[in-house]
Amino acid sequence: MTRPREPKSHLARPAAPAVPPRGEAHFHYDSSEDTHPYFEPPATFQFTASDHVAVSNRDTDATVSTGALEFLPAKGKHTFTVDSREADGQEDWADFKSGSFRAYNQRGTSVSDKNARKGELELRYRPRSKTADGWDPSAHYRLHLYYAGKRGNETRVPVVVSAAHSSPVVQVVYPPRAHVGGRLIVDASSSYTTQHSHLLYRWRQTEGPIVDLMDPNASRLTLRLPAWETEPLAWQALARALMRHPDFLFTRPPSLAACTDKAAKRRLQLVELAQDLVGRPPLEEEFTALDAGASLEALAESYLNSKAFEDFYFHRIRLYLESQGTPLQDEPARLWCHIAFNDRPFQEILTADYTVDEHWARQDRPDHHGRTGVLTTAGFIEGKPGLPHYNYAAQVSMLFLGYVYEVPPEIVEQREGITAEGTTDPQSTCYSCHKILTPLAHQRNRWTDDGKYQLKTERGHLIDASDHGLVEDYPFKGDGLEAFATQAVKKERFIRTMIDTHFSFYFGRQMRFRQDERLLYRRVWDAVHADGFKIRTLIRALVTSPEYLGSTG
């Protein structure tokens, strides 16, 4: 008796998505999602006078919501917005009724189809309507479509972009699973541009267990998957995961100090540079350049001038300023990073008379902000209450002046019921801290806890935002936060804190500037003074130092 032959099996490949007609690009967004600020099609577009962006309720089953559409030039700063009430067909759409719920991702007028007239409603946003606002038919634009995200809304809202030209819209399909030792096909043949231009393909593996790319220049990539052993693969996956999250690693590879091979040591030093500056391991071409004789200083410079550095540095500053990732709370981090990326003096972190908007464009501020940098941004003030609390004053003096406060329970008990003036009595146990905290808290008096400016009280009395003369030797005397900021940035303590903050980014600890690292501190101090207090100069001085690279004992 013979056993029946087992049927041959193969991996089912998902069907390739359709390519839209010439002049169009098709997308969908999830209008039930409220954790993203907007929907951004993954391409840039060039529009003629007859082109538009259409949002419809075709093939939908739930409520469709949409709002303003923002056009952002791929190069330049002249953005403009078409509101939903400026779009063709808007008369058929109703105002979106959110009830007590306020969607995070709203801008402009939020409208909806009220879950009715399915397949009949469409909004057409036309860039030509904004000629007076700077629309340029020769420019390529990114798109940010805002909508009122709410649970229960439609999860696949169709968007059709009618445009003369576009960058490639990448569409990739592949099976969700593959057999060890077999082959896997990744199909990008349905990628397209609105002008239907010929596309060239180049595949490259950037991470994961090594696989064989059989044709790296084809639209359909075939991978040969080796038969890995489970245990080495698991360790490799763990190591790669840790390398993607350098905060979980020691700043300096432990083997660096013990390495005696010069070439191997340079590679370890490059690993350290890449992890700290761009948040990833070095790429193959970076190792190749190093082995060919490129200096570590040159590779550090390439990192410092890369988009990857800007992204990773922004991530660090958001953590340092404790941003929760909203546009409001990201404002102080954007301002700080704008100063860093444009080689402005880092004193402007506290003294800038401008801000930086969500599109990273510099914007003027009302005069009442004065020269206060991040200190009067609503995102920085939010969550840091003023008097009768001292949280704001404590955070400012710790983050930018390096003060450290310890408040044991017995001090809290003694302070119960004490007035602000009482904390500045030299005989008080509170004095050592509050000789800074209390005057600074008074200087913030004209700013509410939600970051709004008020010159007078509700009864019409002028608010006193001076330091009240409470401490004779208070080093930042004057009226308001501008008086504090403009004097604070002149202090050695501020410059030292900026140096030490970045030292902790790249060394993983505070600088021992009073002990055995006086020479390093002096070199970095001299570097920033000689080059206009630029943040990249500060970072460059740290990461190219012998102490950082492990070249000293």
Q: What is the predicted pLDDT for the residue at 553?
A: 36
51: amino acid identity, one letter: D
Any domain includes 13: no
Q: What is the predicted pLDDT for the residue at 263?
A: 86
**Residue ranges making up the domain that contains 105:** 24-166
For the chain, the distance separating the N- and C-terminal CA atoms, rounded to the nearest angstrom, is 78
Residues 71 and 133 occupy one common structural domain: yes
123-141 pLDDT per residue, tens: 999 999 998 888 999 999 9
**Cα 301 from chain centroid?**
21
Residues 174 and 247 occupy one common structural domain: no
Any domain includes 7: no
Q: Is the pLDDT of residue 292 over 90?
A: yes
HSE of 109 in the Cβ direction (CA atoms, 13 Å)?
14
373-403 pLDDT per residue, tens: 999 999 999 888 887 778 899 999 999 998 8
Contacts of 259 (CB under 8 A, 6+ apart): 265, 268
Q: What is the predicted pLDDT for the residue at 3?
A: 54
138-159 pLDDT per residue, tens: 999 999 999 998 889 999 999 9
Which helix or strand (DSSP H or E) is residue 112 part of? strand 111-112
42-90 pLDDT per residue, tens: 999 999 999 999 999 999 999 999 999 999 998 877 899 999 999 999 9
Can you spell out the DSSP letters for 55-99?
EE-TT--SB-EE--EEEEESSSS--EEE-GGGSBTGGGSEEP--T
Confidence of residue 418 (pLDDT cuts 50, 70, 90): low
SS (H, E, C) 213-225: ECCCCCCEEEEEC
Of 25, 23, 130, the C-alpha closest to 86 is 130
Residues 398 and 478 occupy one common structural domain: yes
Q: Is the pLDDT of residue 214 over 50?
A: yes
Any domain includes 176: yes
401-410 pLDDT per residue, tens: 988 877 666 5
Any domain includes 244: yes
Residues 28 and 160 occupy one common structural domain: yes
Residues 212 and 247 occupy one common structural domain: no
Q: What angle do CA 301, 264, 551 make, to 5 degrees?
A: 65
Last residue of a domain, one of 166, 182, 210: 166
The span from the CA of 86 to the CA of 368, in Å, is 34
Beta bridge partners of 453: 447
Residue with structure tokens 């009226």?
479
Q: What is the predicted pLDDT for the residue at 533?
A: 96
What the block records as the tokens of 143 is: 């798109």
Can you spell out the DSSP letters for 331-398?
HHHHHHHHHHHTT--TTHHHH-SEEE-TTS-EEE--GGG-S-GGGG-HHHHTT---TT--HHHHHHHH
Q: What is the predicted pLDDT for the residue at 7?
A: 47
Mean pLDDT of 264-290: 91
The burial of 302, by beta-carbon neighbours within 10 Å (0-12 exposed, 13-18 middle, 19 or more buried), is given as: middle
Q: Which residue has the higher pLDDT, 109 or 421?
A: 109
**To the nearest whole percent, how much of the chain has pLDDT over 90?**
59
Q: Is the pLDDT of residue 107 over 90?
A: no
Confidence of residue 15 (pLDDT cuts 50, 70, 90): confident
Residues 314 and 296 occupy one common structural domain: no
Mean pLDDT of 287-292: 94
Evaluated on CA atoms 357, 362, 368, 372, the torsion sign reads positive
The span from the CA of 225 to the CA of 212, in Å, is 7
Residue with structure tokens 């509101």?
83
Any domain includes 8: no
CB 344 within 8 A of CB 324: no
Confidence of residue 417 (pLDDT cuts 50, 70, 90): low
Any domain includes 10: no
Please tell me the total count of domains within the chain: 6
Residues 240 and 155 occupy one common structural domain: no
Residues 428 and 545 occupy one common structural domain: no
Residues 209 and 320 occupy one common structural domain: no
Residues 319 and 288 occupy one common structural domain: no
Mean pLDDT of 292-309: 94
Mean pLDDT of 296-314: 94
Residues 532 and 453 occupy one common structural domain: no
**To the nearest whole percent, how much of the chain has pLDDT over 70?**
89
Any domain includes 378: no
Residues 544 and 528 occupy one common structural domain: yes
Mean pLDDT of the chain: 88
Any domain includes 192: yes
